Amino acid sequence: MGSGVAVRAQTRVTGVKVLPEPIGRPALARSDLDRAAHLRADPGLVPRLLSDPTTRVVSLAGDRAECGLGADGRAGLVLRAPVPEDSGRLTLFLGFDPAEGHPAGERAAYLAVVEEPGQDDARGWATLRRVGTMLGDRDAGLFTTAVALANWHATHTHCPRCGSATIPATSGWTRLCESGGSQHFPRTDPAVICSVIDDQDRILLAQGRGWPPGRMSILAGFVEPGEALEAAVVREIEEESGLVVGEVTYLGDQPWPFPASLMLGFTARVVGGELRLQEDEIESARWFTREEFAAAIDSGELLPSSSLSIAYRIIEHWYGRPFPTTDIPVR
Ligand SMILES: [Zn+2]
């Protein structure tokens, strides 16, 4: 196979290729909300919206939002009017309905409010993992943004510089250190996920440690500080599988707020190395032809990725058409 170092030097020069929207818009990348970021610094914005009965509020509790079934039987967020209790809760300004020629004041405004429902709360709380593919574009965008931002608030209650408590500011888009006044911004952690294709056009699927039996997907990992995307793809795949890849091609991306990732999707071709699994992360891995992939799903031997995930879209890009998944039903 030659020297891995030499092969990787060659792939660096190639650079990442981009195809025009080869996987469309994944389930959590459908938001068309006007985030109106220029309004966030106004400290009167959230109080004004909380006193306006036309404001639409997304109720959050942990990683769940209040959801229900609409008249058409389709799952959606329950968008309620503000209530007086909201003024004491963490409130996040999500934005307005898309412009379509109307000024912001004439469009519906959306807030997310973090609640602590009691034991007897009978509302229809659901996680984004459970309902993400069933929501319409607007609700998928609202839920994804709200839970991503709320996750960050929940884990950044103290200043990384001095350890003092931080308080929400900028309509929920920053936190301020109460002691030093330093400003802290929400984090999004980039992760690469990549289909690995061999010279027979087979795809490599792997089972991660701790996954349910039969669950296999493509390889993924976080981008490290100081690292470009292509380098992260090449490194992750070599670390986890022993294979050296080239022709790294960008396919699409989607936010993945479980708790704070942005998944950047690629496909790549094997150019060297040999299959040698990173045993502390990968339980097993094997190559699939399209026929073997279809047969393994049919027999129940393979539980493919959820259609919520960008992994599904990347595998579908290789397979050539949709395939059955093991999504959990809405209720
Ligand atoms: Zn501080």
User: For residue 185, how far is its CA from the centre of ligand 1 (angstroms)?
Assistant: 13
What pTM was estimated for this model as a whole? 0.90
Name the residue type at position 99: A
Q: What 3-state DSSP class applies to 168? A: strand
The CB-side HSE value for 9 (13 A sphere, CA atoms) comes to 5
Dist CA 288 CA 68 (whole Å): 39
- Tell me the two tokens of residue 25: 């818009």
Q: Say if CB 276 and CB 241 are below 8 A apart.
A: yes
User: For residue 180, how far is its CA from the centre of ligand 1 (angstroms)?
Assistant: 5
Task: Give the CA distances from residue 329 to residues 71, 108, 136, 153, 295, in Å, rounded to whole numbers and listed in that order.
Answer: 18, 30, 16, 30, 23
pLDDT at 106: 79
Find, among 318, 104, 312, the residue nearest to 215 by Cα. Answer: 312
CATH number of 37-155: 3.90.79
User: For residue 178, how far is its CA from the centre of ligand 1 (angstroms)?
Assistant: 7
Q: What would the pLDDT profile of 211-246 be if each residue is shown by its tens digit?
A: 999 999 999 999 999 999 999 999 999 999 999 999
User: For residue 160, how far is its CA from the centre of ligand 1 (angstroms)?
Assistant: 7
Phi, psi for 106 (deg, rounded to 5): -100, 5
Q: What 3-state DSSP class applies to 272? A: strand
Dist CA 158 CA 144 (whole Å): 24
User: For residue 173, how far is its CA from the centre of ligand 1 (angstroms)?
Assistant: 17
| Mean pLDDT taken over the chain | 91
User: For residue 175, how far is its CA from the centre of ligand 1 (angstroms)?
Assistant: 10
| Per-residue pLDDT at 8 exceeds 60 | no
User: For residue 167, how far is its CA from the centre of ligand 1 (angstroms)?
Assistant: 11
Phi, psi for 17 (deg, rounded to 5): -90, 150
Q: What would you report as the CA-atom Rg of the chain, rounded to the nearest whole angstrom?
A: 22
User: For residue 297, how far is its CA from the centre of ligand 1 (angstroms)?
Assistant: 52
User: For residue 156, how far is its CA from the centre of ligand 1 (angstroms)?
Assistant: 12
User: For residue 246, how far is its CA from the centre of ligand 1 (angstroms)?
Assistant: 44
Evaluate the CA torsion angle 45, 46, 50, 54 in order and state its sign: positive
Name the residue type at position 132: G
User: For residue 155, how far is its CA from the centre of ligand 1 (angstroms)?
Assistant: 15
User: For residue 182, how far is its CA from the centre of ligand 1 (angstroms)?
Assistant: 6
User: For residue 90, how far is its CA from the centre of ligand 1 (angstroms)?
Assistant: 20
User: For residue 174, how far is its CA from the centre of ligand 1 (angstroms)?
Assistant: 13
User: For residue 183, how far is its CA from the centre of ligand 1 (angstroms)?
Assistant: 9
Which run of H or E residues covers position 65? strand 64-69
Mean pLDDT of 296-309: 94
User: For residue 176, how far is its CA from the centre of ligand 1 (angstroms)?
Assistant: 8
pLDDT at 328: 46
pLDDT band with cut points at 50, 70 and 90 for residue 4: very low
- Ranked by mean pLDDT, the top range of 63-77, 110-124, 143-157 is 143-157
User: For residue 147, how far is its CA from the centre of ligand 1 (angstroms)?
Assistant: 25
User: For residue 81, how far is its CA from the centre of ligand 1 (angstroms)?
Assistant: 35
- Of 70-79, 108-117, 160-169, 215-224, give the lowest mean pLDDT range: 70-79
Question: Dihedral of the CA atoms 155, 95, 32, 30 (nearest 10)?
Answer: 20
User: For residue 166, how far is its CA from the centre of ligand 1 (angstroms)?
Assistant: 8
Which run of H or E residues covers position 247? strand 243-256
Dist CA 269 CA 288 (whole Å): 14
Distant-in-sequence, close-in-space partners of 121: CB < 8 Å, separation ≥ 6: none
The label of the residue with tokens 């959230």 reads 46
Domain ranges of the chain: 4-27+188-319, 37-155
User: For residue 186, how far is its CA from the centre of ligand 1 (angstroms)?
Assistant: 16
pLDDT band with cut points at 50, 70 and 90 for residue 96: very high
CATH topology match: 4-27+188-319 vs 37-155: yes
pLDDT at 118: 82
Q: What would the pLDDT profile of 248-298 be if each residue is shown by its tens digit?
A: 999 999 999 999 999 999 999 999 999 999 999 999 999 999 999 999 999
User: For residue 162, how far is its CA from the centre of ligand 1 (angstroms)?
Assistant: 4
The label of the residue with tokens 């025009």 reads 20
| Per-residue pLDDT at 6 exceeds 60 | no
CATH number of 4-27+188-319: 3.90.79.10
| Per-residue pLDDT at 102 exceeds 70 | no
User: For residue 169, how far is its CA from the centre of ligand 1 (angstroms)?
Assistant: 14
User: For residue 305, how far is its CA from the centre of ligand 1 (angstroms)?
Assistant: 42
Partners of 96 in the beta sheet?
Answer: 34, 109
Q: What 3-state DSSP class applies to 299? A: helix
